[in-house]
Amino acid sequence: MCSLASTAHAQSPIAAFAFDESSGTSVVDTSGNNNTLSLVNGAARVSGRYGGGISFDGNNDAAVANTANSTLNLSGRSLTLSAWIYPRANSGWQMIVNKPYTSSHSAPYFDWSLHRENGSGKIVAFFGCESVQRTSNSTTPLNTWTHVAVTYDGASLRHYINGVLDRTTSVSCSIANTNSRPIRVGANGGGSEVMNGVIDDVRVYNRVLSAAEVQNDMSTPLSGGGSAPGDTTAPNVSITSPANGAAVGGTVSVSANASDNTGVVGVQFKLNGGNLGAEDTSAPYAVSWNSAQSANGTHTLTAVARDGSGNTRTSSAVSVSVYNAGGTPSLSLIAEPSVVNSGQSSTLSWNSANVTSCSASGSWSGTKATSGSQVVGPLSSNRTYTLSCSGPGGSISRSASVTVNASAPAPTLTLNASPTSVPSGGSSTLSWNSSDASSCSASGAWSGSKPTSGSSSTGTLTNATNDFVLNCSGTGGSVSQSVRVTAQSESTGPTTGLDFPGSHATSNTVRFRFTNPLSIYPATYIWRVYPRQQTGYYTTFFWGNDGDFSWGGVYGADTYYGAHPYPPQGSGGTSHQWEIAALARDYLSNESVVYGRWYTQALRVWSDSNGKHHEFYWDLPNTSRVIRVDLPSDYGNINPPRPALTFGDAPWAPSQEILNGILRGIQIYSTTLSVNDILTEMQSPRGTNAGSSNIWYLNLNPTPSDISDKSGAGHHPEWVGSERARLWTGP
């Protein structure tokens, strides 16, 4: 049985904080539901909008409920959150009131929250059931008291700023109570995103307040928390124009003087008890009144001044006589929304002045009030609504049209993965966007409800193929998209490499080659090399003619490059520097090769309108150790007679320039990877989108008997002659 007392209680807030206690760190819940707050980390009692308020420092202050209370489990589709706020800065997200998801502030962050947006000062409503920041249209000014509120009825989220509807957004998720975390005022569940300013009169409802109720809360202070500290002196205010008893007409300037012991923050003029224009927040205080919109006769003007502590005073009334010959009628008529789907409705709203009667025509009919609203629908075709109003000063007509879509638009959806290929145990990021969809669900390699737009990690992938499917539905139907992410398993055997003996160990060549290589530009090469000292030249790798590199072309020695140790003293030299070989020149590093240590190296090459470009990173991950070479645009445009990509020895001088050292970790890409992508590919081959899409050859652990391509691209090199590098097995 539902008693009268319990019915009345259900209409009141389920949590309410006036912050009017005179001292201490406890804050009383004036709703009677015992959601007592504790002030922590120095949250201070100061003057509020009404009585006392709590000042938060934007750093680590908070007001935290002592225990969780089941009355604040706002599961379902009905709530109202409101508060007075006095922000001092716009930097950072700033919490007003929320129920956290966890104590560490991890996704989805809140069951529900009301807070200020970072940078803009707009008001945000956030529900964990959809994880979308829903912002107001208007911002909240600094160093000014502003009343903010949001209501949610399961279909529409409404923002109110100072009691005025600011924005309506379609939202349809059901608020979930995910845990028993106590509510917080001024900070998130992890104690961060702290309000930088003062908060007062916080209210939480488990029902939807009307606009009139929001306005009533705004103008009605909470009470019951004790005596309030701070300023209690009301401002002084008086109307200076027009004079009491004046006869006025047309446009009238209404002005007032106001003063206060701590400063006036605003003056609201009133006509016959109702607001006349917006509050004027700076002196001189004045408002323009179009008296032609008021009936001829006696009217009363007053002014209400307020200070920063919420103290107000109303001026003595000024009585004026309005006379406007005829009083020109005015009329507005709007349809909201003006575009609907078949079967939906619209609301007509109208206001008029200086009229005595109104009648409808077009798609509606009958006598209408001089101001009002009316729902029309459900609608199946386009409609035009006309309203005609008359008064002593004449007649006026206005029309509003509603466009009806014959059928709801079909939803659209895009779903992408980046990257689409990862190493086994890696992950990818899925991102999607939809339109005209109200819900989405996942299947295949993921599952569960998803927001209509968003992004998500796949988590660790070990299956060779992983198909992610997303289906989104709306009034106009359903749409489905899928994306595949492959997880490539690299060799799990021992670490191996090719141990080349050097030029003085054999009279035969020791090299392998690709006789159908990738294009010379663009390309990226990554490899690991362990050089040992020898007299004379080395060859690590070489793209060019499989024979003499001075074969002809534009420059004689054309269309080739290589990257190796190089002896500046020539064939008898025993010390080396790193080089790029191209255009019959040797471009050297300033530093010398250190023998007997591993180097991870990369060469990236590309062509553009400015020429051919080469970058040899000879000691990664240190990207400052680089040789850069730019060559003319006409270099490298003609293929040599026998193009080849060769590792281990020089094809123009077989057995004379054999690498003395170990070679392994060979990765070749048919594009120019960015430096950041190279650093990632070094650690995780095919770990970037560009690397995964453009891998040309891969063998991280080559052996003399297996130099085949492990990338799946099918580019397999072959040994030249009968000699092979020795097998190196590493730790």
Query: Which one of 377, 405, 433 terminates a domain?
Result: 405
Amino acid identity of 679?
L
Specify the pLDDT at position 1.
Answer: 32
Query: Which one of 167, 189, 219 terminates a domain?
Result: 219
Tens-digit pLDDT profile for residues 472-511 = 998 888 999 999 988 765 545 678 999 999 998 888 999 9
Q: Is residue 209 part of a domain?
A: yes
Stated pTM of the model: 0.40
Query: Which one of 364, 385, 405 terminates a domain?
Result: 405
Q: Is residue 227 part of a domain?
A: no
CA angle 54, 56, 57 (to 5 degrees): 150
Q: Is residue 433 part of a domain?
A: yes
Q: Are residues 116 and 174 in the same domain?
A: yes
Strand order in the sheet with 448-450: 421-423, 477-488, 465-474, 439-444, 448-450
Q: Are residues 111 and 180 in the same domain?
A: yes
Q: Give the C-alpha separation, 471 to 533, whole Å.
A: 62
Q: Give the C-alpha separation, 721 to 693, whole Å.
A: 34
Q: Is residue 543 part of a domain?
A: yes
Residue of 90, 141, 97, 78 lying closest to 117 (CA atoms): 90
Q: Are residues 555 and 577 in the same domain?
A: yes
Q: Are residues 209 and 242 in the same domain?
A: no
Q: Give the C-alpha separation, 612 to 628, whole Å.
A: 11
Q: Is residue 5 part of a domain?
A: no
Q: Is residue 231 part of a domain?
A: no
Q: Are residues 653 and 561 in the same domain?
A: yes
Specify the pLDDT at position 133.
Answer: 92
Specify the pLDDT at position 410.
Answer: 86
Chain-centre distance for alpha carbon 586: 49
Contacts of 629 (CB under 8 A, 6+ apart): 580, 582, 587, 613, 614, 616
- Provide the domain count of the chain: 5
Are 516 and 646 in contact, with CB atoms under 8 Å apart?
no
> What CATH number is attached to the domain comprising 502?
2.60.120.200
Q: Is residue 716 part of a domain?
A: yes
Specify the pLDDT at position 664.
Answer: 96
Kindly state the tokens that stand for 133: 């920041």
Q: Are residues 151 and 274 in the same domain?
A: no
Kindly state the tokens that stand for 684: 């995780």
Q: Is residue 2 part of a domain?
A: no
> What CATH number is attached to the domain comprising 394?
2.60.40.10
Q: Are residues 528 and 456 in the same domain?
A: no
Residue of 418, 423, 415 lying closest to 464 (CA atoms): 423
Give the residues of the chain that fall short of pLDDT 70: 1-11, 224-231, 262, 308-309, 323, 325-327, 392, 423-425, 488-493
Tens-digit pLDDT profile for residues 502-557 = 998 888 999 999 999 999 999 999 999 999 999 999 999 999 999 988 888 889 88
Q: Are residues 531 and 586 in the same domain?
A: yes
Strand order in the sheet with 577-582: 585-592, 577-582, 561-566, 541-545, 643-647, 511-514, 718-720
Residue 377 lies in domain: 330-405
Q: Are residues 472 and 537 in the same domain?
A: no
Q: Give the C-alpha separation, 605 to 553, whole Å.
A: 20
Q: Are residues 512 and 481 in the same domain?
A: no
Q: Are residues 668 and 524 in the same domain?
A: yes
Task: Look at the alpha carbons of 117, 121, 126, 131 in this order and tell me if their dihedral is positive or negative.
Answer: negative
Kindly state the tokens that stand for 400: 């509003």
Q: Are residues 518 and 635 in the same domain?
A: yes
